[in-house]
Structure 1
Amino acid sequence: MTVRFATYRIVFYVGVFLLSGTILGLDAHFASIFLPHLHPDFTIFALLIPSLTIFTFLLSLQFAQPRTEALTLFILWALWLSMASWATDIIGNVQCDALTTETMPTKNGEIRQREFCYEMKVIQAFSWMLFVLFTAAFGILLALVNQAERFGRPDIWYEPIQELGWFGEFPGYYNHNQQGMVQYPMQYAYPMQGYPMQQGYVQGQQPIYSIQQGPNGQPLVAQVPVVQTI
């Protein structure tokens, strides 16, 4: 796993955990004062989505491939879009500061509408933030997989997610402080059929390109000509 890819992926996961945990905590408060008879649809939905996100990401930290990661990101992207849209439909353009003495019923009494409004605004904002994060993560994942395929890893979809490199970096695990070199012959040279080789004839083969990892993980390509004397 490249250092930068590992770091950015962990940062993304931590951000999703924090935002999802905040929404889960706020909606748990709604569940304690509303369920089972008041506002059950949104309250239950808002409990399931962050819980599913946290549970799925805990599994994905240990076991993931680019194909499973892409499917997970797409499903959660759709769920958080639904969550954000539903929260926006409920709270709309309500100005929380304008609510002063208004109250709304709960299963054990009443709650101030201003308090409910502020909590819903946080749920709405964080849901949209998660939707944006999943959109960016899905696009970056597809770009990195496409890059890995161009670097000669056609089966990267089925390999561990740790094999992906960041932009400009080779896929595959490596030590960031070591230099690795892989040579890829660009073409193969074949002797001409029907023409005998004479002694001392110099046959020039197609050049071999040496692809070497640079100090920051970027590929460095150098041509290495090979000449064979027959």
Structure 2
Amino acid sequence: MTVRFATYRIALYVVVFLLCGTVLGLAAHFASIFLPHLHADFSIFSLIIPALTIFVFLLSLQFAQPRTEAVSLFILWALWLAMAAWATDIIGNVQCDALTTETMPTKNGEIRQREFCYEMKVIQAFSWMLFVLFSFAFGILLALVSQAERFGRPDIWQEPIQELGWFGELPGYYNHHQQQQGMVQYPMYPQQYGYPMQQPYPQQQPALYQIHQGMNGATVTQVPVTNV
């Protein structure tokens, strides 16, 4: 795995974990005050999606190929789009600051609508952010796979995702010496490998051969062409 691709991929995972953890915490709060009879559909859905995302990303850290990563990113992209759209439908364009003493029922009493509004706004915003992140991640993954295929790796979809390089970098390229010096540089085009160059053999001048029959037998004489 190239250094930049590894860094950006880990950064994406960290951001997704933080956003999903926040949404999961707020969804758990809603589940504790609403379930099982109030707002059950959205409460359960908002619990499943971030938990599933964290589980899938933990698996991807250990076992991932470009084809499995692409499928998981697309599925999560669709789920977070649904999550963001549902949260937007619930909270709409409500101004949380305008809510003062209004309350709404819970399974054990009441909750202030302003508190519920703020928490729903966070879920709504983070859901849209995750949707955008997965959109960019999916597009970048397809671009890197296409680049690897152009660089001579037609089976990159089935190879470990660690073989992908960042833009302009060879798949699987890793320069340890330059990495230790903090100056990692990557060729823009795939290197071509071949057999070591060998010294050419000395060229033999063309010649003619004459056979002479003598008393002691036949003798062969080499006569250069230039002298013929």
* Alignment partner, residue 24 of structure 1: 24
- Stretch moving more, 166-175 or 82-91: 166-175
Letter in 1 for 2:186: G
1:137-156 mapped onto 2 (5 Å cutoff): 137-156=137-156
* Alignment partner, residue 134 of structure 1: 134
Deviation at 1:168, TM superposition (A): 0.3
1-structure distance, mates of 2:60, 2:26: 25
- Report the TM-score when normalising by structure 1: 0.80
- How many residues are matched? 195
* Alignment partner, residue 120 of structure 1: 120
Does the 8 Å CA contact 1:164/1:171 hold for their aligned counterparts?
Answer: yes
Instruction: Report the secondary structure of 2:177's partner residue.
Output: coil
Q: Name the CA shift for 1:221/1:32 in 2 (closer, same or farther; >3 Å).
A: closer
Instruction: Report the secondary structure of 2:72's partner residue.
Output: helix
Does the 8 Å CA contact 1:162/1:173 hold for their aligned counterparts?
Answer: no
* Alignment partner, residue 56 of structure 2: 56
Deviation string for 1:123-162 (max 9, x for gaps)? Answer: 0000000000000000000000000000000000000000
Deviation at 1:174, TM superposition (A): 2.0
2-structure distance, mates of 1:176, 1:19: 34
Letter in 2 for 1:33: I
* Alignment partner, residue 75 of structure 1: 75
Does the 8 Å CA contact 2:80/2:128 hold for their aligned counterparts?
Answer: yes
1-structure distance, mates of 2:100, 2:185: 57
Residue 12 (1) aligns with residue 21 (2): no
Q: Name the CA shift for 1:128/1:216 in 2 (closer, same or farther; >3 Å).
A: same
2-structure distance, mates of 1:109, 1:155: 59
2-structure distance, mates of 1:47, 1:60: 20
* Alignment partner, residue 103 of structure 1: 103
Deviation at 1:217, TM superposition (A): 1.5
RMSD between aligned residues: 2.2
* Alignment partner, residue 182 of structure 1: none
Residue 3 (1) aligns with residue 36 (2): no
- Report the TM-score when normalising by structure 2: 0.81
1:86-101 mapped onto 2 (5 Å cutoff): 86-101=86-101
1-structure distance, mates of 2:173, 2:64: 15
Unaligned stretches of 5+ residues in structure 1 = 180-213
Does the 8 Å CA contact 2:77/2:134 hold for their aligned counterparts?
Answer: yes
Deviation at 1:31, TM superposition (A): 0.4
Using the aligned pairs only, state the percent identity.
81
2-structure distance, mates of 1:163, 1:95: 48
2-structure distance, mates of 1:38, 1:61: 37
1-structure distance, mates of 2:138, 2:41: 29
